Amino acid sequence: MIEIIPSLLVESATEFERRLRLVENDCETVHVDVLDGSMFGNTSWHDARAIAAMRTNVKYELHLMVENPLPIVEAWHEHVKGTVRAIVHAEISRPVGAVLEHIREFLRLEGGVAINPETPLKDIESVLHHIDALLVMGVHPGASGKPFVGDYLLDKIRAARNHRADLSIEIDGGVTLERLPSLVAAGATRCCAASAIFSDPDPAAALRRLKDRANMAVTS
């Protein structure tokens, strides 16, 4: 089964909750983009205490586009009981293996690593067999609505799938109805979508269409 995960990159509590309520009945997991300006310049709203007060049945995965992810992950682990997964970037200056070990062994969350479009798989060989998820960026990080950077990323997904058949591989950025079949065929098991959902007049319907297209791609 392919999971379509709505992605929230917002600047306020009001917009976070508005988007959450639009999709919470049609998804299992919501992807929260966390930016503090330390890696990509942009910032996002991601206050754990405030989000904890937004009662919902969805689970959260954190995509930490920050140099120092652990304090944020620990705050979410403490306050947001629906937090299930934390994904950190391979490009941070801190030792990624040690960060992931803390997330997985101490906090008991799923730990994942994200790679930018230009980052080769060989850069994460040391952790590839010790993670729960690989996130391949389909765009250069920092903002929603950017175009998919190129089909060479399909080769990266295929290579990761060939390297580790049981790995959950997620694609984030540039996901559209038209592109879904090729992403699924390459080996993606989770697809994050922001613009494809929230730029639609009916985001819930757009999410359902993406889910239907993904399921068709699996069975075709």
Structural domains counted in the chain:
1
Q: Residue 188's domain is classified under what CATH number?
A: 3.20.20.70
Report the distance separating Cα 102 and Cα 74, nearest Å: 10
Least confident of 17-26, 104-113, 145-154, 209-218: 145-154
Mean pLDDT throughout 102-115?
97
146, pLDDT greater than 70: yes
Q: What is the pLDDT of residue 31?
A: 98
> Pairing between strand 83-89 and 168-172?
unpaired
Q: What is the pLDDT of residue 165?
A: 94
Tokens of 166: 């049981």
123, pLDDT greater than 80: yes
56-84 residue pLDDT tens? 999 999 999 999 999 999 999 999 999 99
The 8-class DSSP code of residue 82 comes to: T
115, pLDDT greater than 90: yes
Mean pLDDT throughout 193-208?
96
In Å, what is the CA distance from 159 to each residue of 14, 192, 220? 40, 20, 22
pTM for this structure?
0.95
147, pLDDT greater than 90: no
Say if residues 155 and 172 touch (Cβ distance below 8 Å).
Answer: no
Which of the four pLDDT bands, split at 50, 70 and 90, describes residue 219? confident
Mean pLDDT throughout 126-147?
88
Which range of residues forms the domain containing residue 93? Answer: 3-219
Mean pLDDT throughout 74-101?
97
177, pLDDT greater than 70: yes
176, pLDDT greater than 70: yes
Report the distance separating Cα 131 and Cα 138, nearest Å: 20
State in Å, rounded, how far the first CA of the chain is from the last one.
13
Q: What is the pLDDT of residue 220?
A: 67
145, pLDDT greater than 80: no
Tokens of 10: 């917002």
88, pLDDT greater than 80: yes
Say if residues 10 and 32 touch (Cβ distance below 8 Å).
Answer: no
